[in-house]
Chain A
């Protein structure tokens, strides 16, 4: 998995059927990438639901969060609607898992992204990364610590 100091590999992924997100367009902003195995995991322990509540924290640190899984855009849309998510979920769908692989966050056996977090600084360098056991929701304290560290610079 890519670690602190590495250049974050650029990507272009669909957030909706007709909107693509390019990482390089977010130069000058901090970016949080949250790779996760699949949409539709149980509600209350849902990692994405937690991040959804934290958007104002991320705003404060001039950071944009993206969730990334191998689910398709249509699946993401339904999931976003159902959970009332207010940030983009990106579909690492075709070629399957290519971006997850580039970040070293792909599980070949399961065919899903691992539960991995990356904080990317304004220059496009990885400032912090964390791989969580697949069944454990890593929370958000690590992300916040990393963002606070970046604010000090």
Chain B
């Protein structure tokens, strides 16, 4: 069974309680339709299990298959520099059906980013490295497609719906 390498750290985007007993890591791609399908289910998981879970997102852009996957990951990270990673993350999935290269600036304005700063940060080498590090972590953790989930550090063999079911059963 593959395990998460490296472990979750403060380099990650983490949502939820520090004390949560269940840590879920998703490796995802903003242009991947399966990740788009998983998005509302993850939201539901967050609502249902509240303080019990902590959610982490790492980038795994399949850049050859999805030409906007890497630019979208950059947009999320650039928003993160203004403290709005999750706002951009949500906006990207909620608008996945109309994803184009022009969408990023529009979403940046919608979620209230300093647009000039956002555009400047989007060109930074650091952000690119961060995304590549995430991808590297995915490869080493045995990610075989997107989305891939890890629960408490171990690869979860299934999609978001299976994950919801598993959590439901272990909670009951």
Contacts and interface: CB of A to CB of B under 8 A. Distances in A.
Interface of A: 43-47, 49-50, 52-54, 57, 83-86, 136-141, 144
Contacts of B34: 44-45
A52 B32 CA distance: 16
Contacts of B29: 44
A50 to B, nearest CB: 6
Nearest to B159: A45
A144 B2 CA distance: 14
A136 B158 CA distance: 11
Interface residues of B, number: 19
Given A44-B34, A141-B2, A54 B62 contact: no
Q: By DSSP majority rule, is chain B's interface helix, strand, loop, or mixed?
A: loop
Given A53-B62, A53-B64, A141-B2, A46 B140 contact: no
A84 B47 CA distance: 39
Interface in B1-57: 2, 29, 32-35
A115 B33 CA distance: 25
Given A44-B32, A49-B64, A50-B62, A141 B145 contact: no
Given A45-B144, A84-B65, A85-B64, 16 more contacts: A43-B33, A44-B32, A44-B35, A44-B62, A45-B145, A46-B65, A46-B145, A47-B144, A49-B64, A53-B62, A54-B139, A84-B64, A138-B144, A141-B2, A141-B141, A144-B140
